[in-house]
Structure 1
Amino acid sequence: MELRVAHLYPDVMNLYGDRGNVAALRARCERRGIGFQVVAVGLGDRFDPDTVDLVLIGGGQDREQRRVAPDLAARGPALREAVEGGLPVLAVCGGFQLFGHRYVDHDGSVIPGIGVFDAETRHPGPVADRCIGDVVVETPFGEVVGFENHGGRTYLATGQEPFGTVRLGFGNNGEDRTEGARRKRAIGTYLHGSVLPKNPALADTLILWGLQRRYGDAARLGPLEEGAERSAHAAALRAAQARARRPS
């Protein structure tokens, strides 16, 4: 078997080492003897979502989001159709915001999104605190840990499923305990760190979804020895717990 991954704007949207998500997927596939191919999709590149099994997009600051937004908007209809057809996606931070309807900046200017998720992001203003710190989220894929650093607050529309529920940290907006969003097999999240190396169950879910898209539901993944991954997950959990105990 082979997994073909599209990495959108890897030279622009790679805040806080989100490229590590590609490395984690590659390592887990190669350890199982699964072929792994990455297609880097830059500004203006030709790209058909139906030719890949999984799409990744990382985070970027407002400047980078403005830079890629028009190009991504042109790809929006094809990406939305592919997601409805079961294409797995992992969209992180700025990528997550752009996969919503829009991002309203602190000065009221609007960065348009592509509407995969029924969500809107708004910046509360230049003097507002950022949402920064270690995060623990309860998800359908188990406990997920990571690190968040975002100024915008994301609000999900009624009926939009979150990625998970915040146990420690801020999540989408620091108010309603939601984190990220899910649509079919597309996941949006604020978790950097990067998120997949320390959350192997989530990484394997994305790999399996991608393989099933190509080879059908009979595709399966064998187990791996995960001592390093478990240690990384435990360290991130301890960091989040320690931060939560500090006086504000």
Structure 2
Amino acid sequence: MAVKIVHLYPDEMNLYGDCGNIICLKKRLEARNFKVEVIGVGIGDRIPNFDIMFIGGGQDREMKLICKDIRRKSEELTYYINSGKTLLAICGGYQILGEYYKTLNSQTIELTGALPFFTECAKQRMIGNIVFESPFGKTVGFENHGGKTYLAKELQPLGKVITGFGNNGEDKTEGILYKNTFGTYAHGPVLPKNPMLADEIIKRALCVGELQNIDDELEQKCHNSLVSRFT
């Protein structure tokens, strides 16, 4: 039986090589002899059952295109998140899991409300390389976002910022980790740069404690080099 990866809004939400995260997951699964099926889910499509869901980032234009549709999918997303399905959301994909986005002119755009956090438009974009400490080691990526995200007190961030801005440039938090939902502002794509994070997502999707070792010496060297370079 194949491991099913749902790519939500593959045409609209795919900034800064975010689809590379799916390529990474697919390659690391196939290296361990798993078959993988990638299913694109667009505007108007129902979300099928899945093992991993991925949502990439998008600019304001793309966010407006999916806004109505993502609200229609909010009940499904909330169910999957709270039932412990494994999900990775990047930047704009991360933001849409929250309650709302407030623009500079104080317009409030309602989002899915799947998780208790919100995002407000910042006066200046937050751009640059980011390194943050997570439960899975130091994580490195590239951030470019105009929104500041604030988590409810009961939510756990994915990590603590070492270098960069993170959720809002104020409280040193980066991303979110809720059950098996991972949200982050790290583009790049983030998973090829951070094999330990990629494997954690795979382990949670497969409900296993350990994975078969694979030859990823080059990936580990790349990760270590980037962390050293940006910290």
1:97 to 67, 87, 95: 95
- 8 Å CA contact retained: 2:47, 2:76: no
Contact 1:57 1:91 in 2 (8 A): yes
Contact in 1 for aligned 2:55/2:89 (Cα 8 Å)? yes
Contact 1:100 1:115 in 2 (8 A): yes
User: Deviations 1:189-226 (Å, cap 9, x if unpaired)?
Assistant: 000000000111111111111112xxxx5x74101121
Aligned equivalents of 1:32 and 1:60: distance in 2?
31
SS at match of 2:124: coil
| SS class of match (1:16) | coil
Q: Compare the two structures and name the one with the higher strand fraction.
A: 2
Superposed CA RMSD in Å reads 1.4
CA distance in 2, matches of 1:159, 1:47: 28
Q: Which runs of 5+ in 2 are unaligned?
A: none
The letter for the 2-side match of 1:13 is M
Alignment of 1:53-202 (within 5 A): 53-124=51-122, 128-202=123-197
Q: For the structure 1 residues 116 and 232, does the alpha-carbon distance in structure 2 shift closer, same or farther, using more than 3 Å as the test?
A: farther
Structure 2: how far apart are the matches of 1:107 and 1:64?
19
Partner residue in 2 for 1:208:
203
Cα distance in structure 2, aligned partners of 1:155 and 1:180: 10
Aligned residue for 2:37, secondary structure, equals: strand
> Contact (CA 8 Å) 1:3, 1:207: kept in 2 or not?
no
Q: Distance in 2 between matches of 1:35 and 1:208?
A: 15
Amino acid across the alignment from 1:102 = Y
After TM superposition, the score normalised by the length of structure 2 is: 0.95
Q: Is the 8 A contact 2:99 2:116 kept in 1?
A: yes
CA distance in 1, matches of 2:169, 2:7: 29
Task: Kindly report which structure 2 residues correspond to 1:23-34, keeping only aligned pairs within 5 A, or say none.
Answer: 23-34=23-34
Q: How many residues align?
A: 231
Q: Distance in 1 between matches of 2:60 and 2:110?
A: 12
- Give the percent of matched residue pairs that are identical in Structure 1 and Structure 2: 44
- The alignment partner of 1:207 has SS state of helix
8 Å contact from structure 1 (residues 144, 199) kept in 2: yes
Structure 2 residue 215 is the aligned partner of structure 1 residue 225: yes
Residue 235 of structure 1: CA displacement? Answer: 3.2
Q: Is the 8 A contact 1:163 1:179 kept in 2?
A: yes
Displaced runs of 4 or more, over 6 A:
none
Q: Is the 8 A contact 1:133 1:240 kept in 2?
A: no
Q: Provide the TM-score with structure 1 as the length reference.
A: 0.89
Structure 1 residue aligned with 2:18: 18
Contact 1:134 1:236 in 2 (8 A): no
Give the Cα separation in 2 of the matches to 1:117 and 1:234: 33
Which consecutive residues of structure 1, in runs of 5 or more, have no partner in the other structure? 242-248
2:13, 2:93 within 8 Å by CA — same for their partners in 1?
Answer: yes
* Secondary structure of the structure 1 residue equivalent to 2:197: helix
